[in-house]
Amino acid sequence: MGFRKSGPASSADMFAAEAEGLLELAKPGVIRVPKVLGYGVEGNQAFIEIERLELAPATAHVETQFGEQLAALHRTTAEQFGWRRDNTIGLTPQHNNQTDDWVTFFREQRLEFQLRLAAQNGYTGQLQEQGAQLLKRLPLFFKDHDPVPVLLHGDLWAGNWGCCDDEPVIFDPAVYYGDRETDIAMTKLFGGFGSKFYAAYEAVSPLAPGHHERCDLYQLYHVLNHLNLFGSAYLGRAQQLIRNLV
């Protein structure tokens, strides 16, 4: 028996995007992803059904494996940033219109989108003023960093990976092709990843100079999304990240 998630028929596209994202992550064959057993609409319910996983606590060995395997996943490249379809980050729409320029992609389809959504949700004033300053300064973070579009999980917090049969497994993705540092930044946002994971990743694929500063930038996208999804508890953190950056 598989693991089934369901929702109103209107969520069919969200589940289809999740299924396609899992299939995209599985293609390189470098890290375990639950098999997609089916998705679609039955009656007035949309659903996705995936392989059921029996998760266990991760050992130091599995954390090391995970770091190595994520570095290998990030060797899968595309010609453009974005993806062939839009998806969601949590329940928020995530636009993935393909483009050759990473700064433009991240500005327009990540930060600008979330800031507009925040304004619609009533978060105006300082957040928007400082956010606008940051958007103007965005190219400065990439003077010496020219990322290539790599396959990303897209929502890689501690709740979206686990240990199954003594190996790492990833799930609940928000897939697109972008700067690999965005996945690493997300792992550092809420904790849950050990030192062996990072050491193993960097042993295979060292991060570029300046990645610490860009970490705040990439975390901001997810903090703004949490602000829009869960409310004002995330406002202070979003404003602090922006102050650090401007």
Distances (CA, A) of 226 to 91, 95, 97: 10, 17, 22
- What is the C-alpha radius of gyration for the chain, rounded to an integer number of angstroms? 18
Residue among 155, 172, 179, 183 flagged as catalytic: 155
Instruction: Tell me if 160 sits within 8 A of 152, measured CB to CB.
Output: no
What is the C-alpha separation between 189 and 95, in angstroms, rounded?
22
Cβ neighbours of residue 60 closer than 8 Å, sequence gap 6 or more = 194, 196
On whether the CB atoms of residues 152 and 182 are closer than 8 A, the answer is yes
Residue 183 bears catalytic tag: no
As annotated, the active-site residues are 155
